[in-house]
Amino acid sequence: MCIGIPGKILDATEGSLRMGRVAFGEVIKQVSLALVPEAQVGEYVLVHAGTAIQVLDEAAAQEVLDLLEELAESMEDRP
Amino acid sequence: MKYLDEFRDGEKTKPILAAIRKTVTRPWSLMEVCGGQTHSILRFGIDELLPPEVTLIHGPGCPVCVTPVALIDKALAIAATPGVIFCSFGDMLRVPGSEKDLFRVKSEGATVRIVYSPLDALEVAEGHPEREVVFFAVGFETTAPANALAVSEAKRRGLRNFSMLVSHVLVPPALEAILSSPRAKVNGILAAGHVCAIMGTAEYRQLAFHYKVPIVVTGFEPVDLLHGIQSCLVQLEEGRHEVENRYARVVKDEGNPRARALIREVFQVVPRTWRGIGPIPESGLGLRPEFSEFDAELRFGVQGVGGPESKVCQSGLVLQGLLRPQECPAFGTDCTPERPLGATMVSGEGACAAYYRYRRAGTRNA
Ligand code: SF4
């Protein structure tokens, strides 16, 4: 129910209710962008119930992946 | 898909699992609050990958599961009213009321439509000015902004044939109810990532401090879940109880302030009854008086409607982590996803349904 799916903004129409097309892999949906006015075309947003609720933070995602690599290496060092 | 696949990669979970095994020296019980996480945990078998000291307790974070029978009965009464188009998320259709469910009312001639967003229900209302269109607004803080947006748009567009049956619930009061119970056996909490995407982390600090439990904001993919579990276990082993965010690609400490402002504009905090748990003060959202023209309960006069909860179903204990689904005598016999007795067997995110699907005797992980 509270599942949100990350999708890429393809376009945005400004207006009283900011809307835009968002691609989830192959699937494209019309989504409200009213709650993420700062989100730009090409960025990823988390979409829940037809509404984008947050812009994804690329750097934060990468940090976790980097941390996992370090962890993997340190585990190999001392099994 | 980007931001999903790389966090679902089995290879990446191995070092975290190794770290978890090194961390744990004693038994610990962690509660994942969100039903979406419960579903992921069982689907990917995460509970079975963890060392035996770690027990995962499945919390009350499935809005479908905690919507009380009385509200389902109200929904059924409204949906059966001539001229109504009743719009709902799909997973509400098989939730049993005291006598029927929405599917049954639909087969008896009511117009019940599954929508993906409350904004879709708004479109239905605009396309059918001669009909009354009602949206069944269930959900936690994650869903509240979308529903608030629909109501504020309906007002702006002057839609007179649109209303909402609101059954919104809030996570922190339910957590507090669980943590303050004398039967509580939860050592640490995995907080629901998408709720925090809206609300941020501030309201959890007081809970962590007061009940001395670490609270770790966690995502939904296997890597995210294990990362959250590892942080929580490290805190427990070190005797700390802090709020940590392990889902930073989605959750900012301040959440989404614009979404919160919209929620506050449309909704106010109200007491709510939770299915299986009972009334919890200040635990939900209802429409503010300024938006009462969109309140379906008032419009259809169903305030008094509502039957009692099932006597057989033990979902209240399941939702509080006091009973495992398989320990319910009805599990898999009288109660199955095809003929559910309680809401936790209906929704894919309900603990009973998740155990039925992934942990029944004879299935792969049994
Ligand atoms: S198995 Fe069915 S009856 Fe038992 S607690 Fe779960 S939903 Fe209720």
Instruction: Catalogue all structural domains in chain A, each as residue range(s) with its CATH number.
Output: 5-76 (2.30.30.140)
What's the whole-number mean pLDDT along residues B9-28?
90
- Mean predicted lDDT score pLDDT of chain B: 91
Quote the DSSP letter at residue B293: G
Tell me the pLDDT tens digit for each residue of B76-93.
Answer: 999 999 999 999 998 899
Residue in B1, B227, B259 closest to A6 by CB: B1
Q: How many residues does chain B have?
A: 366
Q: Which two tokens stand for residue B114?
A: 């599954």
Quote the minimal CA–CA distance from B256 to chain A in Å. 7
Distance B329 CA to ligand 1 centre (A): 8
Quote the DSSP letter at residue B256: -
Give the ipTM.
0.88
- Residue B135 parent element (H or E): strand B132-139
Q: Which two tokens stand for residue A43?
A: 């960025």
Reduced to 3 states (helix: H, G, I; strand: E, B; else coil), residue B347 is coil
Tell me the pLDDT tens digit for each residue of B331-354.
Answer: 999 999 988 888 888 887 888 999
What's the whole-number mean pLDDT along residues A38-58?
94
Cβ-contact B224, B66 below 8 angstroms: no
What's the whole-number mean pLDDT along residues B142-170?
96
- Cα B130–chain centre separation: 34
Decide if B258 and A16 are in contact by the 8 Å CB cutoff.
Answer: no
pLDDT of residue B124: 97
Q: Is the pLDDT of residue B306 over 80?
A: yes
Decide if B35 and A2 are in contact by the 8 Å CB cutoff.
Answer: yes
Confidence of residue A79 (pLDDT cuts 50, 70, 90): very low
Confidence of residue B32 (pLDDT cuts 50, 70, 90): very high
* Percent of the residues in chain A that have a pLDDT greater than 90, as a whole number: 57
- pTM as predicted: 0.91
Q: How many residues does chain A have?
A: 79
Q: Which residues numbered 16-75 in A keep a CB inside 8 Å of some CB on B?
A: 16-17, 24-25, 32, 34-37, 44, 46, 48-51, 53-54, 56-58, 60-61, 63-65, 68, 71-72, 75
pLDDT of residue B364: 44
Q: Is the pLDDT of residue B358 over 70?
A: yes
Cβ-contact B199, B261 below 8 angstroms: no
